[in-house]
Structure 1
Amino acid sequence: MSENIKHHLSDSVLMAYAAGALPEAFNLMVAAHLSLCDACRAQAESFEALGGEVLEQLQDGKEALVSAESYAATLALIAGGPVETAATEDTGCAVLPKPLRDYVGGDLNAIRWKPVGMGVKQAILPTSKEASARLLLIPAGTAMPDHGHQGTEMTMVLQGAFQDDDGYFARGDVEIADSDLHHTPVADIHEDCICLAVTDAPLQFDRLIPKIAQKFLRI
């Protein structure tokens, strides 16, 4: 599975995860990706080890050797508590990675989908107010409405695939979108696409109907 992943998490996201500095929704995203991706999991573990080394230096009275940035990251790590490294994904036919299955209480049969139009369904997950998380089911070949971003949106494919101007995203791939990206994701025609999407600000839709529906759909 891991060798098929082409789109990974950035070092800045992994460092924030290791320091316990991400909102709950983004923590869930990172944990789900790490359970599928050996490369990102190894990188996250290296950042956690670095944080542990900084703590040891502080305990040994070597504060002078620690940079201001490392010290700040260490304080964030202490405030956030210990960070659990996501376990390698277990074998089997589950669509949801283990961190997500633990979170929703099962696989796809545990999800309470709600229709949002054009055959698309969503399930909003309960997380802290700093960011939102939702599961999306997009019928094969369906295009999502054109939209931009006021903040950060991270989308991870769990089943099927989608394509936009940034490339082709299949299971395990994560697209990180910010205010510079305006796109129209289209689900691959071969299979319904299921994604985990997390955002820290509302999306910016071009068309009137999505704008009207946005308030009710909480996107």
Structure 2
Amino acid sequence: MAYSAGSLPEAFNLIVAAHVSMCDECRAQLASFDSVGGALLDGTDSEPVSQECFAETMRLISSGALRPEKPSSPCADTKAILPAPVREYVGGDVDKVKWKPIGMGVKQAILPTSKDASARLLYIPAGAAVPDHGHRGMELTLVLQGAFVDETDRFARGDIEIADEEVTHTPVADIGEDCICLAATDAPLRFNKLIPRIAQPFFRI
């Protein structure tokens, strides 16, 4: 509902847009929320806008200065690993991702979003683990390839894990295939071991 209303941070909007593009049921649910929102707008009194304000808004849009906070959510391309909303940020599929190693074979690519939350692609080799950690806020993790397991469940392509301050876990990629995830956080993670805590500021996690 918050995604439909446009009230989520851009990073979380991207997660929802990517998931909706992969899930028929959620796409139908989003359409119903959009319909409700449209009906509410139809019943709202309009406010006049000056010609100067309209012209300035159109100028900003045409110059690219106004980046949309809510990414589009077209249906999934079954040949691509990255959903279409994510490909818009990367400039292509996985082969265009500019990965940076963060240790133990794990790589990340931070995506450009607004400052109120961050989004990153994570590459976790099959069988590898992300260091055990807790959360100072909300973390949404969408699986795009492979799967991972932690203390709560197993998450495969299209699944989202929602973790908050009460969740501490150690995600481990399944043996069969390297795992690629899209993760969004609105606060730094809380690592339990010293080395990840030392490296944390450098990797902006």
Instruction: Specify the TM-score bucket, using the shorter chain as the normaliser.
Output: 0.7 to 0.9
Which residue of the partner structure matches residue 64 of structure 1? Answer: none
Tell me whether 1:191 sits opposite 2:177 in the alignment.
yes
- In 1, distance between residues paired with 2:121 and 2:180? 7
* Shift in CA distance, 84/190, structure 1 to aligned 2, threshold 3 Å: closer
Which residue of the partner structure matches residue 95 of structure 1? Answer: 81
1:25-48 superposed Cα distances (whole Å, 9 cap, x missing partner): 111111110100011111111111
- In 1, distance between residues paired with 2:131 and 2:34? 39
Q: Is the 8 A contact 1:19 1:83 kept in 2?
A: no
1:11-65 superposed Cα distances (whole Å, 9 cap, x missing partner): xxxx1101110111111111110100011111111111111111222359xxxxx
- In 2, distance between residues paired with 1:101 and 1:57? 36
Q: Is the 8 A contact 2:71 2:85 kept in 1?
A: no
Q: Superposition pairs for residues 154-193 of structure 1, below 5 Å? A: 154-193=140-179
- In 2, distance between residues paired with 1:165 and 1:107? 31
Q: Secondary structure at the match of 2:22?
A: coil
Amino acid at match of 2:203: L
Tell me whether 1:23 sits opposite 2:14 in the alignment.
no
- In 2, distance between residues paired with 1:140 and 1:213? 23
1:122-158 superposed Cα distances (whole Å, 9 cap, x missing partner): 1111111000010000010111111100000000001
TM-score computed with the length of structure 2 as normaliser: 0.86
Structure 2 gaps, min length 5:
47-67
Which residue of the partner structure matches residue 22 of structure 2? Answer: 36
- In 2, distance between residues paired with 1:165 and 1:208? 21
Q: Secondary structure at the match of 2:8?
A: coil
Amino acid at match of 1:152: M
Percent identity over paired residues: 65
Q: Superposition pairs for residues 47-66 of structure 1, below 5 Å? A: 47-59=33-45
Q: Is the 8 A contact 1:136 1:195 kept in 2?
A: yes
Which residue of the partner structure matches residue 110 of structure 1? Answer: 96
Aligned length: 184
Q: Secondary structure at the match of 1:58?
A: coil
**RMSD over equivalenced CA pairs, Å:** 1.7
Structure 1 gaps, min length 5:
1-14, 61-80
* Shift in CA distance, 115/82, structure 1 to aligned 2, threshold 3 Å: closer
Q: Is the 8 A contact 2:13 2:69 kept in 1?
A: no
1:51-97 superposed Cα distances (whole Å, 9 cap, x missing partner): 1111222359xxxxxxxxxxxxxxxxxxxx996762211332x1101
Which residue of the partner structure matches residue 217 of structure 1? Answer: 203
